[in-house]
Amino acid sequence: MPTRGEAIAELVVLLPMFMKTLLEGLETIAGLNVSEKKALMCICKHEGGTMSEYSKRLGLAKGSFTTVADSLEKKGLVERVLGSDDRRKWVLVLTQKGNRIAREIDTRFKQHITAKLARLSEEDLEKLQQALETIVATMEKLHERRYG
Amino acid sequence: MPTRGEAIAELVVLLPMFMKTLLEGLETIAGLNVSEKKALMCICKHEGGTMSEYSKRLGLAKGSFTTVADSLEKKGLVERVLGSDDRRKWVLVLTQKGNRIAREIDTRFKQHITAKLARLSEEDLEKLQQALETIVATMEKLHERRYG
DNA sequence: AACGAAATGTTAGAATTCTAAGCAATGTTG
DNA sequence: CAACATTGCTTAGAATTCTAACATTTCGTT
């Protein structure tokens, strides 16, 4: 009989497949790749963050996020701004066009997920939501500082 | 107030971050990259599957999985075998060495996850396990054929 | 102030993954 | 059976991401 940790390990490896299931068929928008879309959404929800913050949120290496930010800037969707007294730090803000596209992506994404889940019962949806909330709460606990 | 589908959409995008949290710090083994390790585990648990099956399970494009299988074969960990009367299909089986390394990866992975979760209470662990089981069950429901 | 250590962001090149086209084998339809 | 579509896998080239090294700025200690 597996320990609880082992059982969880077995389950965790299936999460990418779940993501794939939910996301497949999501149409592209405005010549943006997946990371660019995620980044735009992330900047929209947490505007004025630094490069490092966004790269962590998106799970990208710092260098990779530089590429993404360059691309979004070139497309006129975000701007780099010197935002504090720390002259190493750049802050990203959405342009008007970037804001409009971010909203569009958000709307379409939610429609897509809703359509994907349309075959589930209301009870299943409620369970799923609770499960996801549990996972997010767990993640936050794991991020709490060790000594504090 | 968001609909349930919208709420779920908001939560789903946080899953990759959860994965990252759990997996960070996992040491490398035997010069295998992440996909190669996943593939080895997958072949170990579901031996004798076809290339297409594994690529789906791993969430990789078919062409990408060819690369991974090539690499594992070159390293002497798996073998391609003609496994059925359908001469298009290749079947993958582990070599003795591949089997040994797969077990080692499995052990280390479970130890890693267990260590990561060590700070959580038994109650939290139980909730997490249930949440993951709910998600996997949901995925299976979403994979059921539309008409059947 | 001065020194080294750490943090922020960029760059270059390698590694990984994807897309699209192609080949061979099988399935389907008339 | 013949023609066509589909499936399983591979290949080639492009796109994406990673790693490691770097320049700049800030922090911490003396």
pLDDT averages per 10-residue partition of chain B, 148 residues: 88 86 80 93 92 92 96 94 83 94 92 90 94 92 61
- Confidence bin at A147 (pLDDT 50/70/90): very low
Specify the residue for token string 């209470």.
B121
pLDDT recorded at residue B41 = 93
Q: State which H helix or E strand residue A79 sits in.
A: strand A78-82
Protein residue at shortest CA distance from C1' of D12: B63
Which residues in chain A (36-75) have CB-CB distances under 8 A to chain B? 38, 41, 57, 59
Domain A30-135 has CATH 3.30.70.1520: no
Could you say which nucleotides of strand D lie within 7 A of any protein CB atom? 7-13, 15-21, 24-27
pLDDT of A125 > 90? The answer is yes
Protein residue at shortest CA distance from C1' of D26: A86
pLDDT recorded at residue B67 = 97
- Confidence bin at A83 (pLDDT 50/70/90): confident
Specify the residue for token string 């070159």.
B74
Q: If DSSP states are collapsed to H, E and C, what string results for A126-146? A: HHHHHHHHHHHHHHHHHHCCC
Q: Average pLDDT for residues A72-92, to the nearest whole number?
A: 90
Q: Average pLDDT for residues A12-30, to the nearest whole number?
A: 83
Q: What tokens does B136 get? A: 């996997």
* CA-based nearest residue in chain A for residue B59: A17
* CA-based nearest residue in chain A for residue B37: A13
Q: Which of A41, A130, A25, A138 is nearest to B7 (CA)?
A: A130
Residue B130: its chain A contacts at CB < 8 A? 131, 134
Q: Which residues contact A111 (CB under 8 A, 6 or more apart)?
A: none
Q: Average pLDDT for residues A9-23, to the nearest whole number?
A: 86
- Confidence bin at A148 (pLDDT 50/70/90): very low
Question: CA of B85: how far to CAs of B54, B82, B88, B91, in Å?
Answer: 19, 8, 9, 12
Tally Cβ neighbours within 10 Å of residue B135: 22
Give residue A87's identity as a one-letter amino acid code: R
Angle, CA of A45, B133 and B51, to the nearest 5°: 90
Better-scored residue on pLDDT, A34 or B148: A34
Angle, CA of B18, A20 and B91, to the nearest 5°: 115
Q: Which residues contact A95 (CB under 8 A, 6 or more apart)?
A: A76, A77, A78, A79
| Percentage of residues of chain A with pLDDT beyond 90 | 62
Left, alpha or beta for B26 (phi > 0: left; psi -120 to 50: alpha)?
A: beta
The topology (CATH level 3) of B31-143 is Arc Repressor Mutant, subunit A (1.10.10)
* Residues B139/B132, Cβ–Cβ less than 8 Å: no
Give residue B9's identity as a one-letter amino acid code: A
Residue B124: its chain A contacts at CB < 8 A? 138, 141
Cα–Cα distance for residue pair B60/B65, rounded to 1 Å: 6
Q: Where are the alpha helices (DSSP H) in A80-121?
A: 96-116
In Å, the largest CA–CA distance within chain A is 56
**DSSP secondary structure string for all residues of A13-31:** TTHHHHHHHHHTTPPPBTT
Backbone angles phi, psi at B79, to 5 degrees: -135, 140
* CA-based nearest residue in chain A for residue B118: A5
Backbone angles phi, psi at A69, to 5 degrees: -65, -40
Q: Which residues pair with B81 in a beta bridge?
A: B91
Query: Which of B1, B12, B20, B41 is most worth mutating to test chain A (most A CB atoms within 10 A of its CB)?
Result: B12
pTM for the structure as a whole: 0.86
